[in-house]
Amino acid sequence: MKKVILVQRNEPGTDHGTNERKFVELKELARAAHYNVVGVLTQTRYPDRKYQVGRGKVDELAELVEALDAEKVIFNHQLSTTQIYNISETCKCEVIDRFNLILEIFASRATTRRAKLQVELAKLQYELPKARAIVSLLKKDERPGFMGLGGYEDSYEQDVKKRIVRIRNEIHNSCKGGESLRSFRHERGFSLVALAGYTNAGKSTLFQSLVKEGVEVEDMLFTTLSPTTRSLSIKQRRVLLTDTVGFIEDLPHWMVDAFRSTLDEIFLADVILLVVDMSDPLDVIRQKLVVSHDIFWKRTEGAEIVAVLNKADMVDPDDLERKVDAISYLAPHLVLVSASSGDGFEVLLDTIYENLPHWSRSSISLDMSEDSLSIVSWLYDEGIVHSIDYGEYIVLEVEAREEILRKVRKYSI
């Protein structure tokens, strides 16, 4: 893990709570990006020096970088190109800001082609205003490789612009993939369950524990599943469980598309497990629930939302009860769990099962023929075969989507 130093800026006039929460979130983001935070530096911003990072602070930072052997510095606020350049020169290590960090996280979690394109687009849009400044800074310093390149400045900016146009087109053409992926999975008898929620809520911990506890379904077609999706069986129903990138507060508008595209798996899901960190203060929990529901309503069709109230082990029982009562009106299904201890998993699995798309149960008799045998194997793929008797006829008790049963009934005698 790369060693990093975080720089927090206190803004006089902003209340302490807001500063503090933003900084806690930066730490969570650094952890999510797999950095090892070895040091923290606090800086105060004075109203008369709007975007300055004082000389003394930069020297202090450089000393800290050397002493702690840090490889990267992450600022909690946006920096100008000149600042990034100057600070990284003094500190002799890479310098990024909060937005670069968030983009790094998106990039590492984007699984679909479309999500990758969206992240690339956001990066380029962020880079564009800086493109010209970067080149002139490098030129000023007469770095090798930039000598005698007349017109380079312009062509670099042009190049970024061209790439933006090309990626926009590609995104436009690739928009239709999601739906067919969903129907393909449904046709294979899988329901889709996605873990969603704010960063640090415990989604990945829950994902790992559910996968460990459950029975994994072997399916040749899914050998290429991304590392964040697993096929599981819940009371014989086959589901694809997907972990997703956490929601991040206060995203600038140019980042929202990139963020949402990393959530494609959520918008396709039949059941969304909205993971909530119960150790957060009540008003934070409430606000996060409301914002999450907002994001889902706009993009999902008929997905069931189950609020998974996690980290129950970290809150004392009275407090927990009070919090659960206070938010119960915000979510139709609530389950209290501890992802790390496994408490509440049984109820959770029951609740997921109850909210999967409806399947019916039916008795079917088929004559003994080759066609019937292929129908039987199809039913094994598509649904649950509760019992099967091979006698004069093949008699099955099956559970599957109504559509499937309707087709099969045509052959039933």
Ligand X SMILES: Nc1nc2c(ncn2[C@@H]2O[C@H](COP(=O)(O)OP(=O)(O)OP(=O)(O)O)[C@@H](O)[C@H]2O)c(=O)[nH]1
Among 80, 204, 208, 365, binds Mg ion (CB under 5 A): 204
Tokens of 127: 């880079």
Q: Which of 340, 385, 388, 399 binds ligand X (CB under 6 A)?
A: 340
Nearest to 240 by CA among 273, 202, 262, 278: 273
Give the one entry of ligand X, Mg ion, none that residue 125 binds, where binding means its C-beta sits below a cut-off of 5 to 8 angstroms depending on kind. Answer: none
Total residues interacting with Mg ion, rule: CB under 5 A: 2
Q: Which stretch binds ligand X (CB under 6 A): 156-164, 197-205, 316-324, 326-334?
A: 197-205
- Residue 174 or 340 having the CB closest to ligand X: 340
Contact yes or no for 170/117 (Cβ under 8 A): yes
Structure tokens at 182: 């969903």
Report DSSP letters for 200-221, one per residue. Answer: TSSHHHHHHHHHHHSEEPP-GG
Which of ligand X, Mg ion, none does residue 355 bind (CB under 5 to 8 Å by kind)? none
Cα 49 to Cα 42: distance, rounded to the nearest angstrom:
16
Point out which span in 69-77, 115-123, 305-313, 387-395 binds ligand X (CB under 6 A). Answer: 305-313
CB distance 393 to 368 below 8 Å: yes
Tokens 């105060």 sit at which residue?
44
> What is the pattern of x (binds ligand X, CB under 6 A) and - over residues 20-39?
------------x-------
The runs of H, that is alpha helices, within 33-112 are 55-68, 81-91, 98-109
The distance of closest approach from Cβ of residue 356 to Mg ion in the complex, given in angstroms and rounded to an integer, is 23
What angle (nearest 5°) sits at the alpha carbon of residue 384, between those of residues 381 and 385?
100
Interaction partner, residue 201 (Mg ion, ligand X, none; CB < 5-8 Å by kind): ligand X
When the beta carbons of 197 and 383 are compared against ligand X, the nearer one is 197
**How many residues in total does the chain contain?**
413
- Contact between 339 and ligand X by CB under 6 A: the answer reads yes
Of 368, 366, 367, the residue nearest 398 (C-alpha) = 366
Tokens read off for 218 = 């072997």
Partner from Mg ion, ligand X, none binding residue 340, C-beta < 5-8 Å depending on class: ligand X
Q: Is 300 in the site for Mg ion (CB under 5 A)?
A: no
Distance CA 14, CA 115 (A): 35
301, 269 contact by CB (below 8 A) = no
- Assess 288 for contact with ligand X (CB under 6 A): no
174 binds, among Mg ion, ligand X, none (CB under 5 to 8 A by kind): none
Cβ atoms < 10 Å from Cβ of 400 = 22
Given candidates 204, 287, 365, 412, which one binds ligand X under the rule CB under 6 A? Answer: 204
For ligand X, the closer of residues 107 and 388 by Cβ is 107
Give min distance, CB of 198 to ligand X, in A.
7
Copy the structure tokens of residue 104.
Answer: 């790094």
Residue of 130, 203, 237, 323 that binds ligand X (CB under 6 A): 203
Contact call for residue 336 and ligand X (CB under 6 A):
no
Please pick, from the candidates 38, 192, 201, 269, the single residue that binds ligand X as defined by CB under 6 A.
201
- Contact by Cβ (8 Å): 210, 345: yes
Partner interacting with residue 202 (select from ligand X, Mg ion, none; CB below 5-8 Å by kind): ligand X
Write the CA distances from 389 to 74, 179, 235, 363, 386, integer angstroms: 66, 37, 22, 11, 11
Residues 96 and 49: their CA atoms lie apart, in Å, by 21
**Alpha-carbon radius of gyration of the chain:** 26
- CA dist 141 and 123 (Å) reads 25
Determine the Cα–Cα distance for residues 103 and 99; give it in Å rounded to an integer: 6
Nearer residue to Mg ion within complex by CB, 104 or 153: 104
- Known binding-site residue numbers for Mg(2+): 204, 224
Under the binding rule (CB under 6 A), the answer on residue 313 touching ligand X is yes
| Min CB(75)–ligand X separation in Å | 20
Q: Which does 339 bind (CB under 5 to 8 A by kind): ligand X, Mg ion, none?
A: ligand X
- Which position among 10, 88, 112, 205 is part of the footprint of ligand X (CB under 6 A)? 205
Asked if residue 412 binds Mg ion (CB under 5 A), the reply is no
CB of 344 or CB of 383, closer to ligand X: 344
In the complex, residue closest to ligand X by CB: 246
- By the criterion CB under 6 A, which residues form the site for ligand X? 32, 197, 199-205, 246, 310-311, 313-314, 338-340
